[in-house]
Structure 1
Amino acid sequence: MNRFAVGLIVLTVCPFSGLAAQNDAASYVNTLIGTQRSALGYGGTMPFVTTPFGMTSWTPQTRQNKISVTSYNYGDTTISGFIGTHQPAIWMGDYGYVTVIPQVGELRTTPELRKLPYSHRSENARPDYYGVSLDAGADGTIQVEMTATERCSILRLTFPKTAEARVIVEASRPGISGMASINPETREITGFNPHRMDAHLGPFVLPKFRGYFVVQFEQAPLNMKTYGMDDAKAELSRGAYAEFKPGQTIQVRVGTSFVSIEQARANLEHELSGWNFQAVQDNLRAKWNEKLSRIQLSGATDEDKTRLYTAVYHTLLYPRIFSEYGHYYSAFDDTIHAGESYTAYSIWDTFRAENSMLTLLAPERIDGMITALLQNFKEGGWMPKWPNPSYTNIMIATHADSLVAEAFRKGFKGFDRQVAWQAVYKDAMTPPDGDTTRRWLDREEHTPYEARAGLTYYKQLGFIPTDKTDEAASRTLEDSYDDWCVAQIAEALGRTEDYRFFLKRSLNDRNLYNPAIGLMNGRTSDGGWAPIGGSRDDNQNRSVSGWTEGDAWVYTWSPFHDQAGLIQLMGGVESYDAKLDQHFSGGHNVHSNEPSHHYGYLYDFGGQPWKTQAMVRKIAAKEYEASPGGLDGDDDCGQMSAWLLFTAMGFYPVNPANGEYMIGSPMYEQISLRLASGKTFRVEASNNSAQNVYIQSATLNGKPLDIPVITWEQIQAGGTLHFVMGQRPSEWGSQWKPQLISSN
């Protein structure tokens, strides 16, 4: 998702060193990948120290984050603090954050005055640890080290001997009514931050929302004070600080919570009961290694391993756990509930491959993640599009339907299947409030929950008209896919009539095919064709052609479920493949944004799988590098990284909810996936190289595989998928044909 344009500059990168000397998987992760703006692109990532799916992530703060600005950017030269953040992506905001600032000399609380220079040469960024030296000028250097648990962090701060040491805790920023208080007897600073940067994007005001924190010091401070109060009698302060003797190493524990200060303290007791920094780091490294080591590579360089294991790290950050030992705050009814919860689902992005990757790498989490979406439905009225942590109305369609359908298809049963039906049925049948009186503009503020905007027209006309609803053409195509997902859920529940109804309605995508141009085309309410381009009517701030972050070329092949129908509309596989050739040769494939992610695999449907094999290898080589500037486009909560992981393994979920994976071109001699069952699924590629990208033959567990498709069940059974690779295209897999959905 690229909701904000980002300027490109070329920077000198600092290579990640020391890989060859270490043999655990975490040592290959470079958390700086995606943090630099480069000629390749900008990933918008941050060097998070956290657990897989951690509730709070910890990162150095080189700039004050906000919507469109992340806390860390590799091109910056100063650090103003170390933030416990919940910001999931560059185009989303933070909420309930807390910042810790080490300092010497006079008290300086503003980011501009407190920032200190640093060099990447002193920086050590890994999933389990972040360390850096801050230049305090004539006073010397401050060494900062961080490690973390799921909800907490421990910092080790080594101060110079020449000046009194200070640790500042910033509860909130100017204009935000946060609070910090001190307790010298317990060596604690406690408080809360009510800031929700995305509050204007959703329908709910949440008066009880707060991000709570408890900060504890191992060493006894000389004194503790608050700062930032409007007057001496004010009850709220913007922050607090503790001062210490010069030359000490000070250890700081920070607990976070969305339930209460008491719960933040309880989270510390659960996760950081002692002061053994190394033990906490070792435990975090073990957590990451357990997950990372589920994928093993052979025939890969250290640089390859850095690319791949960093991609695994990125895919395992989201969605975030949002519950605290049996309870969670709901940002959908502003109330505390019993149970488990998650947030930060970038669903428009992640339903494509990230969620599918989690079903392989973290299947133990899927039931809880689906349950969280269903709890949101019960508490707020709808499953969310993009909870952060409440409704934000970011992006289009209701692709939570896809996540639910994928869970059904893959046999996950630890959630309420009847509530799931109620949720997806409402998505598909109930228009949002004011559906025909609103344009539903991108990031329109303070609207009701958007759900399937334009659904009223979709039900009446079979498409959403561009003169009535913004981004209407893209919505029609994506709603069609979601209808297919609802149909699959209905079938699994034995709801035959509902299955037939939604399956037929899932073919509404065909209503937008314009045979005169051989592309999908938005339509107006009178049935005519809308302008085909990607322009906007600036006077009315609305989409004229009806596209979301793209154009007709980007969206023509978007109905994942109906490629056979598209082949038929285009007049056969020859025309389908020729149009794909035009798509790629014309520069229409923009891999930095998600609608193009499955396009490289579409030649499989058109009987030319050798073109898929060449194309996906070309994209992987062009779009991903093992450097801070090595990620083209926002990582989008793991989706960009999940594409690379699937492509490296040699298959990709074009339709993520049908349990099938289209075969591409495996990138290494061998890559294996250890499954939750203990079985291993191994992909071998004999004669593989950068030149030998074409599949000559394939076997699955020793038996010939003649189609470019494998299934969820085949992967879960374990075994070996073996390819023989070569320099020239072959006819392997070209006889396979996708199944056409009947309109009857």
Structure 2
Amino acid sequence: MRVVVGAACLAWATGLGATAVAPASSPVDWVNTYIGTGGGGVEYGGSMPVVTTPFGMTNWTAQTRQNRISVTSYAYEDTQIQGFIGTHQAAIWMGDYGYVTLMPEIGGINYAPEARQQPFTHADETSTPYYYAVTMGKGADHRIKTEMTATDHASHLRFSFPLKSKASVLIEGTRPHVNGEVSIDPARHEISGYNPDRMDAHLGPLALSNFKGYFVVRFRQPFSARTVYQGVLMVPGKDTVAGDNVGAFVSFDTSASGVVEAQVGTSFISVEQARANLDAEMPDWNFEARRDALKAAWNAKLGIASLHGASDDERHVFYSALYHALLYPKLFSEHGHYYSAFDDKVHEGESYTAYSIWDTFRAENSLITLFAPERVDGMVRALLQDYQEGGWMPKWPNPSYTNIMIGTHADALVAEAINKGFKGFDWNLAWAAVHKDATVPPEGDTTRRWFDREPHTPYEARAGLTWSAKIGYIPDDKISESASSTQEESFDDYAVAEVARALGRKDDADFFRKRSLAYKNLWNPKRGFMQARNLDGSWAAPDRGWTEGDQWVYLFAALHDIPGVMNLMGGPAQAAAKLDEHFNGGHNRHDNEPSHHYGYLYDYFGQAWKTQERVRQLARDAYSNTPNGVLGNEDCGQMSAWYVFTAMGFYPVNPVSGQYMIGSPIYGGVTLNLPNGKVFSIKSANASAANIYIQSATLNGQPLDEPVITWAQIQAGGELAFVMGPKPSRWASGWRPTAM
């Protein structure tokens, strides 16, 4: 639901806590890092107020609770801080891996999170994408200020203790039941070690005996005392400890200054590489320069979009959404090398992870092609490297195979990049990867049910492909989530056909394009819905076979052939009536991705004014400038990408096609200063909360009577202009798309 911003919210509405700050003057100043951090339950946004670079490998945040699968490190309603964590947790439903935590303390040494935690309030907190600060603790003699900024693989922390206090810093290497190692080097002022934890390792087939998250913590000040610990016991007389629940404490002389600085390098290659990352990215102790550099990096990315005629709340929501979208996928390479979580070896090259592809293939990756095209080739190459090293492109690498969700939607990412002309990866290798997805069943395909998140299974790929290749659908009495998988894999077949077409493989393109219509085999004309079927052709129960949805959510799941679905229903009028019933009956679930394109479907049915109504309503109700300002889990930028596109006035219903369906632009204008040097402007005369309907439109001065623009048109630069009004018009009502 939408939470209205009230007086109590004003202290943090800028994303900077209650700390006195100058008015927002650059794009990053409009980011409210608290959006999506509130609610505390499993259906909240699951976001964290992280300090990191765009697509940074390691994110840094205050740890208000022990994270795990279904719990992230920070929740807005918490009142205690347990530490400051370098985390790789990408989403609430995924676990962390290779993390490291630091915690400043005064007086006694406390190991356990509950014993060492300190109280704080948001009034004493400052949070931005480039700088985080908080003052915590009770009483003047126990107040500690912590500040953080970051680079791709490292963080610079500054702790300010009271003068002459007994100051220490805890480095938690591992937690209970996790075996690792920590070592102190007093000559270098360093603590190094590794954490081999992969919280969701049980979800994938690979053991990865070499996997470790390495760290080097380098202090500016020498240690006045030091100790390593295991469990709740110190290990006297030693500087190295290995085993379960290990860490270190180092103390400092604060008689002259209470400031203690630490820099933390992280790596998945080695301790030496963590140190090399630190040397390369933090060659000095200039905290302010590093903070300013990170602010500039965020402004460069966020500043691609300039808003005109937006309210303050709208600016906060827009730039916060763009910030969230530009966190994923996450960099996984380290200055020309990367550890592969697919063959357990180190390789040369560039790599990325945290592709929540079932979520993000819909809009997040399309957004990256607009705002960070320089990353696209490397991101696709990373998927192809995973294919070479592990045998398949992954569904949801974290950082290895996890078998979460259905389909092989990496096919769509590859096809979209090819259709948009990205050439920095091997197209023939891409064909080999998508062709395998489409033709090779997973190990044990006919003997497994392939339940969601089923532990310790082979890589799932297209579960049930053995059956669907023969009978044209995945049978519900053999494979779980069969109806959703049949439809989503029809879209994947379309993507494979597009790759074949681009390579001139006409026969293959024709074959997979025809097979992409298999979704029609689930159409039950008597009921007017898609429905799961059994191996013998009989209909399964209507509530069977769905993935995070139902027969309503998956009625229009064939993103590549919405006109074909419309024709099954009897034509545009009947399809529009069914869509009315969907929305009016409360069936739309914008908090989950399969519904994200539904508001735009009226464009296909000659009722574009209803698209304009629906998307404005969704943007208003599902997003706000509050801690609960994302309806449902953020899901690695997809929820936010939907908002960014919708606010600009268009959305990629079929992302592979390079087409965007037009909705209702929210602001008076958006200027995109594209990375290719061109400028694309969206101007919306009279746009307001009341004027949501398009009266007319032009593209580069010429009448635009279709509710469609393309990626190529945007990349060429120009002006998309709308005249908005308070009443529906017949604009674009004569356009009809062509079925496959």
Q: TM-score, normalised by structure 1?
A: 0.95
Query: Amino acid of the residue matched to residue 607 of structure 1?
Result: G
The aligned counterpart of 1:346 is 356
Q: Deviations over 1:240-259 (max 9, x none)?
A: 11101235100100000001
8 Å Cα contact 2:387-2:433 kept in structure 1: yes
Measured after TM superposition, the shift of residue 739 of structure 1 is 1.1
2:143 to 131, 141, 144: 141
Query: What SS does the aligned partner of 2:586 have?
Result: coil
Separation of aligned partners in 2, 1:378 and 1:83: 33
1:305 aligns to 2:315 (yes or no)? yes
Q: Give runs of aligned pairs for residues 79-118 of structure 1, distance below 5 A.
A: 79-118=81-120
Measured after TM superposition, the shift of residue 300 of structure 1 is 0.9
8 Å Cα contact 1:48-1:127 kept in structure 2: yes
The aligned counterpart of 2:414 is 404
The aligned counterpart of 1:484 is 494
Query: What SS does the aligned partner of 2:415 have?
Result: helix
Q: Deviations over 1:235-279 (max 9, x none)?
A: 415101110123510010000000110010000111001001100
Measured after TM superposition, the shift of residue 528 of structure 1 is 1.0
Q: Give runs of aligned pairs for residues 175-254 of structure 1, distance below 5 A.
A: 175-228=177-230, 235-236=241-242, 238-246=246-254, 248-254=258-264
Query: Amino acid of the residue matched to residue 672 of structure 1?
Result: T
The aligned counterpart of 1:537 is none
Q: Deviations over 1:398-423 (max 9, x none)?
A: 00000000001000000011110000
Measured after TM superposition, the shift of residue 175 of structure 1 is 1.0
Q: Deviations over 1:345-379 (max 9, x none)?
A: 00000000000000000000000000000000000
8 Å Cα contact 1:327-1:339 kept in structure 2: yes
Of residues 545-554 and 676-685 in structure 1, the stretch that sits farther from structure 2 once superposed is: 676-685
Q: Give runs of aligned pairs for residues 215-364 of structure 1, distance below 5 A.
A: 215-228=217-230, 235-236=241-242, 238-246=246-254, 248-364=258-374
Query: What SS does the aligned partner of 1:657 have?
Result: helix
Separation of aligned partners in 1, 2:40 and 2:66: 21
Separation of aligned partners in 1, 2:342 and 2:93: 21
The aligned counterpart of 1:74 is 76
1:434 aligns to 2:412 (yes or no)? no
Q: Give runs of aligned pairs for residues 320-719 of structure 1, distance below 5 A.
A: 320-533=330-543, 545-719=544-718
Separation of aligned partners in 1, 2:516 and 2:128: 45
Measured after TM superposition, the shift of residue 137 of structure 1 is 4.2
Of residues 387-396 and 669-678 in structure 1, the stretch that sits farther from structure 2 once superposed is: 669-678
1:16 aligns to 2:29 (yes or no)? no
Q: Deviations over 1:23-82 (max 9, x none)?
A: 111111111110001899621100010000000000000000000000000011100000
Measured after TM superposition, the shift of residue 140 of structure 1 is 2.8
Query: Amino acid of the residue matched to residue 739 of structure 2?
Result: L
The aligned counterpart of 2:727 is 728
8 Å Cα contact 2:182-2:241 kept in structure 1: no
8 Å Cα contact 1:40-1:629 kept in structure 2: no
Of residues 675-684 and 223-232 in structure 1, the stretch that sits farther from structure 2 once superposed is: 223-232
Separation of aligned partners in 2, 1:226 and 1:412: 50
Query: What SS does the aligned partner of 1:220 have?
Result: coil
Measured after TM superposition, the shift of residue 516 of structure 1 is 1.2
Query: What SS does the aligned partner of 2:61 have?
Result: strand
Measured after TM superposition, the shift of residue 20 of structure 1 is 7.0
Measured after TM superposition, the shift of residue 22 of structure 1 is 2.7
The aligned counterpart of 1:541 is none
8 Å Cα contact 1:184-1:223 kept in structure 2: no
Separation of aligned partners in 1, 2:89 and 2:7: 25
Separation of aligned partners in 2, 1:235 and 1:359: 46
Query: What SS does the aligned partner of 1:308 have?
Result: helix
Q: Deviations over 1:94-115 (max 9, x none)?
A: 0000001100111001001000
Separation of aligned partners in 2, 1:713 and 1:387: 30
Measured after TM superposition, the shift of residue 433 of structure 1 is 0.3
Q: Deviations over 1:426-471 (max 9, x none)?
A: 0000000000100000110000000000111110110001110000
Separation of aligned partners in 1, 2:738 and 2:247: 62
Separation of aligned partners in 1, 2:432 and 2:606: 39
Query: Amino acid of the residue matched to residue 241 of structure 1?
Result: F
8 Å Cα contact 1:432-1:451 kept in structure 2: yes
Gap runs ≥5 in structure 2: 1-5, 15-19
Measured after TM superposition, the shift of residue 629 of structure 1 is 1.3
Query: What SS does the aligned partner of 1:552 have?
Result: coil
The aligned counterpart of 1:540 is none
Q: Deviations over 1:616-668 (max 9, x none)?
A: 00000000001111111111000000000000110000000001000000000
Measured after TM superposition, the shift of residue 687 of structure 1 is 1.0
Query: What SS does the aligned partner of 1:236 have?
Result: strand
Query: Amino acid of the residue matched to residue 222 of structure 2?
Result: A
Separation of aligned partners in 2, 1:349 and 1:654: 13
8 Å Cα contact 1:143-1:158 kept in structure 2: yes
The aligned counterpart of 2:155 is 153
Measured after TM superposition, the shift of residue 15 of structure 1 is 3.2
Query: Amino acid of the residue matched to residue 684 of structure 2?
Result: A
Query: Amino acid of the residue matched to residue 242 of structure 2?
Result: L
Separation of aligned partners in 2, 1:41 and 1:188: 40
Separation of aligned partners in 1, 2:189 and 2:12: 40
Separation of aligned partners in 2, 1:137 and 1:201: 46
Query: What SS does the aligned partner of 2:248 have?
Result: strand
Measured after TM superposition, the shift of residue 129 of structure 1 is 0.5
The aligned counterpart of 2:121 is 119
Query: Amino acid of the residue matched to residue 371 of structure 1?
Result: R
8 Å Cα contact 2:58-2:266 kept in structure 1: yes
Residues 91 and 558 (structure 1), Cα distance of their counterparts in 2 relative to 1, 3 Å cut: same
Measured after TM superposition, the shift of residue 136 of structure 1 is 4.0
Separation of aligned partners in 2, 1:219 and 1:22: 35
8 Å Cα contact 2:160-2:258 kept in structure 1: yes
Q: Number of aligned pairs?
A: 721
Gap runs ≥5 in structure 1: 1-9, 534-544
The aligned counterpart of 2:131 is 129
Of residues 162-171 and 52-61 in structure 1, the stretch that sits farther from structure 2 once superposed is: 162-171
8 Å Cα contact 2:164-2:253 kept in structure 1: no
Residues 372 and 11 (structure 1), Cα distance of their counterparts in 2 relative to 1, 3 Å cut: farther
Measured after TM superposition, the shift of residue 163 of structure 1 is 2.7
Separation of aligned partners in 2, 1:110 and 1:567: 59
Residues 19 and 596 (structure 1), Cα distance of their counterparts in 2 relative to 1, 3 Å cut: farther
Query: What SS does the aligned partner of 2:560 have?
Result: helix
Of residues 161-170 and 592-601 in structure 1, the stretch that sits farther from structure 2 once superposed is: 161-170
Separation of aligned partners in 2, 1:599 and 1:19: 40
Separation of aligned partners in 2, 1:529 and 1:728: 44
Query: What SS does the aligned partner of 1:382 have?
Result: coil
